[in-house]
Amino acid sequence: MGENKADVLQGTLDLMVLKTLESMGPLHGYGIARRIEQVSGDALSLNQGTIYPALLRLEQRGWVKSEWGLSETNRRAKFYSLSRTGRKQIARETENWERTAATMARFLAPSSSASN
Amino acid sequence: MEWIRVLLSRVASLFRRRRLDAELDEELHAHIELAIAENLRNGISPDQARTAALRALGGVTQTRETYRVQRGLPWLEQIARDVRFGLRQLAKSPGFTLTAILTLMIGLGANTAVFSLINALLLRPLPVPHAEELAVLHIDRSDDQDGPSYDFSAPVVRALEKRQDVFQNIAGFTWDDFQIRGSSGNVEVIGAEVSGQFFSVMEARPLLGRLLTPQDDQPGGTAGGFPVVISESFWRTWFNRTPDVLGRRITIDNAPFTIVGVMPKGFIGADSMRPAQIYAPLAAGPVIDAPYDNITAGVWWLSVIARRRQGVSLEQANAALRATAGSLLDEAVPDAEWIKDAREHHFQLAAESGSTGYTYLRARFRKPIIAVFWLCTAMLLLACLNLASLLMARSAARERELATRLAMGATRRRLVQQLLVESMIIATLGTAAGLLLAPFVNHALVAYVLANSHGATLDVDLDLRVLVFVALAGIISTVAVGLIPALRATSGNLNEQIKSGSLTASSREHRSTLPRILLGLEVALALMLVFGAGLLATSLTRLYRVGLGFDPRGVVNIDLDMYKQSLAGEALVHWYQTYGDALRHLPGVGSVSFAQITPLGGEFITHSFRTPLSGGDRTVHINLIAPDYFQTMRIPILGGRDFRWSDTLASGRKIILNQSAARELFPGQNPLGQQIRSSRGPLEVIAVAGDTHYESLRENSPPAVYYSITQNPNMKQSSYTAVVRTEGSPASLADFVRALTTRMAPDIPAPIMTKMSSVLDASISSERMMAMLAVFFAVCALLVTAIGLYGTLAYATARRTSEIGIRIALGAQRVQVVAMVFRENAWIAAGGSLLGLVIALLASRALASFLYGTSVRDPWVLVASVAALTFIASAASLIPAIRAARIEPITALRLE
C-alpha cells in the first residue's frame, strides 16, 4: 500500500461516481469502485465500501437508478445507471468543481503573479 | 424540492428495513465475490484473495452501519431505542412509575378540565364571521357594587339603533322560555327575542328562507302574526327537516307566528350558553310575555351586542358612546327622577370586546374559575417538583450506570437526551391519563356552573385551543420534570463516581442542596394549597351553618307556569287552594303552601314603606304567600295569626312582617293591629314572623313584608311556586304532581320540581365548587408531598447503608440514627413550611372575596394546616429513618 495516497475529498466521490456511470454505462458497485481506482491511477485510498452510501445518496436524490442483474460471475448484483436528472446534474457539478479548482489554483499559484 | 424526495425515501426505508438490509447484504456479497474472482485472476492464492477483498472493501460491518445511517432517519431510530430503553427502566420500578403517572394525571387532568371550562366560558369566540369586530355594551355607574350592568331597556336599544356612527349594526336581545303548542299541550323551549339588526350584527346567513330584518321588528306585526326564524335543531325535531316549513304557522305562548327562515346548524346566537331554538322580533315581546309588557314598562332586561365599523377601535367606540350617553338618557328614559339619579352616579355607556358574545354566567363564574385554574396550576407545579426531586434521587442511585456509560464514550448530550426521553415517557403517559380524567372533572365542574341555570348548556368539548394547551402543559412538565435531574446526573466528576461503589455514601450527598430546595418548594406549595383549602372549607361550613330562619330539609318546590292559561283573579286563587288540598292528601306530604318567590333562588322584590315611627322610607323585601307558608317552611310565627283562604280584598288587606321589618317600621312598639298606608289603601299588620334569608345565603336576612296571594290586587294570571313539606321521601310525589297538573291545568307546561336542599346547594355552587376542588387538591398535595419526602429520603438512606452500618458498628445508638436520618427531612419540612406560610399569608388576600365569615388569617386554619403538613412530613420521614436504624452492621458491610 502506498503511503502517499490521498484520501477522497469530501463531496468529490459523488461526482466521480456520476462521471464513471456516464462513461461506462450501467455498472455494479464493485465495477464502479474499481473503475475509480483505475482512473485515479491507484493514487486514491478508497475504502470500496464507502461507494455504497454514496450510491444510496445519489439514488435518494434521484440522480441514479438501480436494478438487479447478473454479474460476470453469474451472480445476482445491483447495477446502477444514470437517470435523466443525474445526467443534467453532471454538468452542474462539473462546473462547480472546476470553479473551486480554479479558485484553489489561483491561491496556490506563485506569489509573484498573484501580487498584481 | 430535492430534500423532500430524500426525506420521503428515508422515511419509506424505515418500513422496509429488513428487506433493504437483506438487499445490501446480497450486494456486498456480490462485491466480495467479484473482488475475490479478480484477485484470483491476478494470481493471488485463494485464502489471500479473500482477505485482500475484505480489506479493500474496508469492513462489511462498517459499510453496513454507514449505509444504514444514510438510508434511514438515524435520530428517529435513536429515539426509538431510547424509548424502548426508557420503558424497560420504568417497568423495573413500577412503584415510582405509577406514582409519577398518577400525580401528573391529577395535575394535568384537572388543568385540562378547568382550562376547557375557561375556554368554553371565556375564550371561545362565537361562530360568526369576524367575531373580533363584535362589541358588548354595558352600563357603568359609580353605585354599582357588583360590577357593570349589562341590562338595557327597549327604548334605550331603539335609541341606540338609530346611532350608527361607530357601529355598523347594533341589536338588543334576550332569551326567554317560549311555550310552543305541540300535539299534547304546551312545551317549553329556549327562545330569543331579538331586535331588528340582530342578524346583521351576527353577519348570519339563513339555511332556508330569510332572516329577521328591522321591518319585522315593528309593533303589531303582520296579518299572520310576527315572523320567526327557527334553529336547525328545532327544524329537525319539530318538522323532521321538511323543506316546506317556510310559511308554516306556529303557536308560541298562545299567539300565532309564521316561520320565515331556518338557521344553519352552527349558529348559536349571541349567548353561547343558551342557544335559542326560535328567534322572534323584539316587538313581539308583549305578545310572548303577556300579560306582561317589558317594553312599555321600561324594564331593563336586554343585552346589547354591536358590530364595529371597519377601522373603528374599541377605544373610539367607547369615546363615541361616552359622548352620547347623556342625550340618550333624555331621549329614552321617561322618568326625570331616574335620570337625575343616574347622572349623580355618573351613568356611562361603554363597549367591551364581544367576540365571545354575552352570557350572564360569565360574570358570576369568571373569578371563581380563574381562582380554580390557579389552584390546578399550583397542583401541577407541585406534581412536577415532586417528580423532579424523585427523579433526582433516582438518578443519584443510577450514578454508576451513567458514569460507566460516559466513560465508555457516550456524550453528555446523548445521556441527557436519554434521560429526557424517560421523563417524556412519564409525561406522555401522565398527559394521556389526564386526558382520560379530564371529562369526569369537567362533568362535575359543569354541573356546578350550571346548577340553578335552567336551560343553559356549556360546550366544553376539546377544541384546538384546549389541545394546544394540553400539549404545551405536557411539554413544559416534561422539561420541568426531566431537565434539571438529567443535567445534574451527568455533570458529576467521572472519576469520583466510578471510584465510589454504588452502595457507599459519598460526601456529595451532603452537598446537594438542589433537591432540598425543590422539596422545600414542594412543601411550601403544599402548605399553601392546604391553607387555601382550609379557608374555603371553613367558609363553606359557616355558610351552611348560617341560620336560614327556615328548615329546607324535605321541602319540595313545584314551579307552576300559569301565565298562559285562562283562569284569573279569584278563580285562579281558588284553583291554587284546590291544587294545594289535593297535594296535602298524598301520604307523606305534611303541609302545602304557595309563594311568589321561594328563598335562595336569587330573585327578590323590594318596596319602600314609611310609618310615623320609621323615620323616612324603609326598603323592605316583599313576598306573596298563601296560608300555611310559615308552617310549611317551619318559620316561627311570633305573634298574631296566619293568612287564611277567606281573607279576600273585600275583607281589608292584611300583611305579616318579619322581625326585622317590625323593628324598622315600628321601633319600640307592638306592630300587631297597626296600619301602614300604601298607595292602594291601608294595610293591617296581623302577625310577626321570624327572619329568614331571602335571595341568597351570603346576604343577611332582610326586613320583609308578606302579602297574601288571596289579596293580590294585580289579579292577573299570577304564577306561584307550590312549596310542599314532605316526610320521608314520597317517591310517588313527582308522578302524582304530573298527573294532578295534567288533570287540573292541561294547558300549562309540565311543572319543574326542585328540592329546597338542592336550591340551597345551587345557590352557593361556586363556593362549593371552589371548596371541593381545593380540598381535593389539598389532600392530593399532602399525599404527593408525603411520597416525595419518603421517596427521596428512602433513596438517600439506601445509599448510606454502609455508612450507617459503620456508625452502628462504632457504637452509635439506634435512636441517634433515627434522629440523624429524620433530621434530613425535618429541615426541609420546616423551611418549606415557613416559606409556604409567608407566601400563603401574602397570597390569601386574593381569596378574601370568596370567603364568608372567615378571616384570611384565620389562626385555627393556619395552625391546622401546619399541623397536617408536619404530621404527614413526619410520618413520611420516620419510615426510612426507622428502617435505617434496623440496619445490621455486618450485612451492611458485607454488601461493600
Q: Find chain A residues with C-beta within 8 A of B57's C-beta.
A: 47-49
**pLDDT recorded at residue B528:** 92
Is the pLDDT at B879 greater than 50, yes or no? yes
Is the pLDDT at B679 greater than 80, yes or no? no
**pLDDT recorded at residue B504:** 46
Under 8 Å between Cβ of B371 and B151 = no
**pLDDT recorded at residue B896:** 55
Burial (CB count within 10 angstroms: exposed 0-12, middle 13-18, buried 19+), residue B445: buried
Contact A56 B70 (CB under 8 A): yes
**pLDDT recorded at residue B506:** 47
Q: Which amino acid makes up residue B1?
A: M
Cα B580 to Cα B182, B555, B627, B755, B800: the distances in Å are 28, 14, 10, 17, 79
Contact A53 B33 (CB under 8 A): no
> How are the residues of chain B apportioned to helix, strand and coil, as percentages rounded to the nearest 5?
55, 15, 30
* Residues in A 26-85 with any Cβ partner in B closer than 8 A: 28-31, 33-34, 47-50, 52-53, 56-57, 59-62, 71-73, 75-78
Q: Which residues pair with B250 in a beta bridge?
A: B257
d(CA B149, CA B158): 18
Contact A77 B34 (CB under 8 A): yes
Cα B369 to Cα B118, B209, B451: the distances in Å are 7, 41, 15
DSSP calls for B424-482? HHHHHHHHHHHHHHHHHHHHHHHHHHHTT-TT--------HHHHHHHHHHHHHHHHHHH
d(CA B312, CA B645): 62
Which region among B82-96, B116-130, B149-163, B486-500 has the lowest average model confidence (pLDDT)? B486-500
Q: Which amino acid makes up residue B849?
A: S
Question: Does any domain span residue A115?
Answer: no
d(CA B142, CA B147): 10
Taking the Cβ of residue B34 and every Cβ of chain A, the question of whether any pair is shorter than 8 Å is answered with yes
**pLDDT recorded at residue B690:** 94
The CATH number given to whatever domain includes residue A87 is 1.10.10.10
Instruction: Report the number of distinct structural domains present in chain A.
Output: 1
What share of chain B has pLDDT > 90, as a percent?
30
pLDDT, tens digit (0-9, with 9 covering 90-100), for B640-662: 999 999 998 888 899 999 999 99
User: Stretch B695-711: mean pLDDT, rounded?
Assistant: 89
DSSP B643: -
Closest CA to B192 of B300, B307, B306, B289: B289
Q: Find chain B residues with C-beta within 8 A of A31's C-beta.
A: 34
Question: Could you write out the three-class secondary structure of B456-467?
Answer: CCCCCCCCHHHH
Contact A29 B31 (CB under 8 A): yes
Of residues B402 and B45, the one with the higher pLDDT is B45
Under 8 Å between Cβ of B872 and B779 = no
Least CB-CB distance to B5: which of A28, A53, A60?
Answer: A60
User: Stretch B703-707: mean pLDDT, rounded?
Assistant: 94
Is the pLDDT at B711 greater than 80, yes or no? yes
d(CA B825, CA B796): 11
Under 8 Å between Cβ of B137 and B324 = no
**ipTM of model:** 0.86
Q: Which residues pair with B230 in a beta bridge?
A: B262, B278
Under 8 Å between Cβ of B625 and B721 = no
User: Stretch B831-840: mean pLDDT, rounded?
Assistant: 90
User: Stretch A53-65: mean pLDDT, rounded?
Assistant: 90
Question: Does any domain span residue A30?
Answer: yes
Is the pLDDT at B291 greater than 90, yes or no? no
User: Stretch B134-141: mean pLDDT, rounded?
Assistant: 92
Chain A closest CA to B10's CA: distance in Å? 8
* Residues in B 43-82 with any Cβ partner in A closer than 8 A: 56-60, 62-63, 66-67, 69-71
User: Stretch B834-845: mean pLDDT, rounded?
Assistant: 88
Chain B closest CA to A54's CA: distance in Å? 8
d(CA B719, CA B624): 11
Under 8 Å between Cβ of B529 and B382 = yes
Contact B27 A77 (CB under 8 A): yes
Confidence of residue B665 (pLDDT cuts 50, 70, 90): very high
**pLDDT recorded at residue A3:** 42
d(CA B155, CA B160): 9
Chain A closest CA to B408's CA: distance in Å? 27
Q: Find chain A residues with C-beta within 8 A of B2's C-beta.
A: 61-62
**What cell does A105 get?**
489554483
**pLDDT recorded at residue B510:** 45
What range does the domain containing A68 cover?
A: 6-107
Q: Find chain B residues with C-beta within 8 A of A28's C-beta.
A: 30-31, 34
Is the pLDDT at B240 greater than 90, yes or no? yes
User: Stretch B742-761: mean pLDDT, rounded?
Assistant: 86
Question: Does any domain span residue A14?
Answer: yes
pLDDT, tens digit (0-9, with 9 covering 90-100), for A71-109: 887 888 899 999 999 998 898 888 888 898 899 898 888
Of residues B105 and A1, the one with the higher pLDDT is B105
Q: In what order do the strands lie in the sheet with A64-70?
A: A27-28, A76-82, A64-70
pLDDT, tens digit (0-9, with 9 covering 90-100), for B546-559: 888 999 888 999 99
Question: Does any domain span residue A112?
Answer: no
Q: How many residues does chain B have?
A: 896
d(CA B662, CA B656): 9
Mean pLDDT across chain B, nearest whole number? Answer: 86
**pLDDT recorded at residue A2:** 38
Taking the Cβ of residue B663 and every Cβ of chain A, the question of whether any pair is shorter than 8 Å is answered with no
Least CB-CB distance to A62: which of B5, B60, B67?
Answer: B5
Taking the Cβ of residue A116 and every Cβ of chain B, the question of whether any pair is shorter than 8 Å is answered with no
Under 8 Å between Cβ of B782 and B380 = no
**pLDDT recorded at residue B706:** 95
Most confident of A7-11, A18-22, B60-64, B417-421: A18-22
Confidence of residue A115 (pLDDT cuts 50, 70, 90): very low
| List of residues 6+ apart from B86 with CB closer than 8 A | B418, B421, B422, B424, B425
**Cell 341589536, located at residue:** B171
User: Stretch B605-632: mean pLDDT, rounded?
Assistant: 89
**pLDDT recorded at residue B2:** 75
Is the pLDDT at A112 greater than 60, yes or no? no
Of residues B65 and B688, the one with the higher pLDDT is B688
Is the pLDDT at B807 greater than 60, yes or no? yes
Mean pLDDT across chain A, nearest whole number? Answer: 82
Burial (CB count within 10 angstroms: exposed 0-12, middle 13-18, buried 19+), residue B579: buried
Contact B26 A76 (CB under 8 A): yes
Q: Find chain A residues with C-beta within 8 A of B40's C-beta.
A: none
Least CB-CB distance to A60: which of B10, B27, B58?
Answer: B10
Confidence of residue B502 (pLDDT cuts 50, 70, 90): very low
Burial (CB count within 10 angstroms: exposed 0-12, middle 13-18, buried 19+), residue B532: buried
| Disruptive mutation site among B8, B70, B73 for chain A (greatest number of A CBs within 10 Å) | B70
d(CA B293, CA B285): 7
**pLDDT recorded at residue B686:** 95
Confidence of residue B46 (pLDDT cuts 50, 70, 90): confident
Cα B243 to Cα A115, B16, B690: the distances in Å are 91, 55, 60
Contact B37 A73 (CB under 8 A): yes
What share of chain B has pLDDT > 70, as a percent?
96
Kindly report whether the peptide bond that precedes residue B439 is cis, defined as omega within 30 degrees of 0: no
Is the pLDDT at B507 greater than 50, yes or no? no
**pLDDT recorded at residue B505:** 44
Is the pLDDT at A10 greater than 80, yes or no? no
- Alpha-carbon radius of gyration of chain A: 17
Of residues B599 and B164, the one with the higher pLDDT is B599
- B167-182 and B683-689 strand pairing: unpaired
User: Stretch B839-863: mean pLDDT, rounded?
Assistant: 86
Question: Does any domain span residue A116?
Answer: no
Is the pLDDT at B866 greater than 60, yes or no? yes
DSSP B592: E
Q: How many CA atoms lie within 13 A of B718 on its CB side?
A: 27
**pLDDT recorded at residue B497:** 53
User: Stretch B165-187: mean pLDDT, rounded?
Assistant: 88
Closest CA to B182 of B110, B277, B275, B246: B277
Under 8 Å between Cβ of B190 and B568 = no
Q: How many residues does chain A have?
A: 116
Under 8 Å between Cβ of B288 and B253 = yes
Helix axes A51-61, B2-14, angle to 10 degrees: 120
Q: Find chain B residues with C-beta within 8 A of A72's C-beta.
A: 34, 37
Taking the Cβ of residue B24 and every Cβ of chain A, the question of whether any pair is shorter than 8 Å is answered with yes
Helix axes B756-763, B765-799, angle to 10 degrees: 60
Q: Find chain A residues with C-beta within 8 A of B69's C-beta.
A: 53
Is the pLDDT at B359 greater than 90, yes or no? no
